[in-house]
Amino acid sequence: MFVVDNVLQAIGRTPLVRLNRFGRHTPATIWGKLEYMNPGGSVKDRPAFQIIADAEEAGLLKPGGTIVEATSGNTGAGLALAAAIKGYKCIFVMPDKMSEEKIRSLRAYGAKVIITPTNVEPEDPRSYYSVSRRIANETPNAFYANQYHNQSNPRAHYLTTGPEIWEQTGGNIDAFVSAAGTGGTISGTGKFLKEQRKDIRIIAADPIGSVYYDYFYTGKMPPAHSYKVEGFGEDFLPSCMHFEFVDEVIRVTDKECFDACRKLVREEGLYTGGSSGGAVIAAVKYAERINKPMNIVVILCDSASRYLSKIFDDEWMRENGFLSEDPLGATISELLAKRPRHAVHSATPTDTILSVIENLKARSISQVPVLDRGRVVGIVGERDLLSFLISGGDPSSPVQDIMKSDFALVEPTNRISMLTQFFTRDLTVMVVDDGRVLGIITKIDYIDFVSHR
């Protein structure tokens, strides 16, 4: 019988369960690690406990102190759980897109919850990052948990999550997939697993609108924009995200996350939320691409009970356009196959502007991607060149002086419906596969393809 002295000792040792519906069309076996079975209802119980324990040991958190944190809900629940046992007060700051269930659950622990606007820059004084820091500075005997930059976060997963997965699989694991938020889960677990066997692939799931995907593949910070799924993705780079332990990032849409988590509950009996749906979809996409027998472990982050008024409410799903079937179920590779094939020409950052102009003229094209050691780092088009020359620019200057970052990367396996999110923001869409640029998709390509469906 599993008996503990207090609820904190019940954190961890979560089950690993085989998924029998998701990925069954592939040779891979996908396993879900049921982190929503932690006492606080999510994977965030692990770093919350570690952050408090390390702060106490370092003398940063003293008896009667107040824990302050910016949270999307789950880390707050873990901190509040520990605070209830240890006698601390809690103040949490949350963005206004979070579910009412998360807000109420934190208040149920006795925490004070402050709501801030979602659609502001991280440095904006109204952002939940800025507000939480200010409160921590103004509150006597306060400790700022700072999950985005506190290295106790990934350390918790290095010490617990990674070893558990290694033991549960008997070392027979080929890939690990996690939704990427603060970076703690994927970085700490990934580091441990890589130390056991270097060939284990570590894969981050990232929602469209977050910066991770583009930053990982281009090295450039793209503009972030809002998305509906909660609990993962970021609009800045936390120092707890250690990309050296990540092998690839797979992008997912809001609809993919919501559809998958609803199916996980109804078809697998796994009562989990939207970020788990995103991670499972990323695992399925990876399994489809690799197409060989392997064991993939996915973190199922938190409980569906926190999203009953949103993801699991048909009216909310319908109002936000997620309940209907995707009318554009085709993939981007299908679009590419329908249009005339053209060789993709590119430039390097050090190519001169004059050479790019000559390239565009010789090939009758209007724009080229700029690649640096195989990574897309920018794009330059006729408008950029014209503006530069009209302003008196020197044609012998390197193209990196005028290249733009207003582009989005997609993969051949992505759905066509993803493109609308980029075209509405006037981004140039480039199709990439294993570092190769397969083509640039224009609005007229999209219009032509859709009109003939």
Distance CA 40, CA 105 (A): 10
Cα–Cα distance measured from residue 350 to residue 428, given in angstroms and rounded to the nearest whole number: 21
Report d(CA 279, CA 294) in Å as an integer: 17
* Residue corresponding to tokens 């890939």: 175
Cα atoms in the Cβ-side hemisphere of radius 13 Å centred on 44: 28
Distances (CA, A) of 292 to 250, 257, 365, 414: 18, 24, 40, 20
What secondary structure does DSSP assign to 392-434, as a single string? T--TTSBGGGT-B--EEEE-TTSBGGGHHHHHTTT-EEEEEET
The tokens describing 447, both together, are: 């219009």
- DSSP per-residue codes, 388-403: HHHTT--TTSBGGGT-
Residues 6+ apart with CB under 8 A from 119: 226
Joined tokens for residue 298: 């996915």
State the burial class of residue 394 (Cβ atoms within 10 Å of its Cβ: 0-12, 13-18, 19+).
exposed
Q: Are strands 89-95 and 112-116 parallel, antiparallel or unpaired?
A: parallel
Helices (H), 161-253: 162-168, 184-196, 212-218
Q: Which of 33, 44, 102, 194 is catalytic?
A: 44
72's tokens? 């999307």
Alpha-carbon distance of 380 to 384, in angstroms, equals 6
Confirm if 33 and 297 have CB atoms less than 8 A apart.
yes
**Catalytic: 44?**
yes
Nearest to 421 by CA among 273, 223, 286: 223
Which residues have a catalytic role annotated?
A: 44
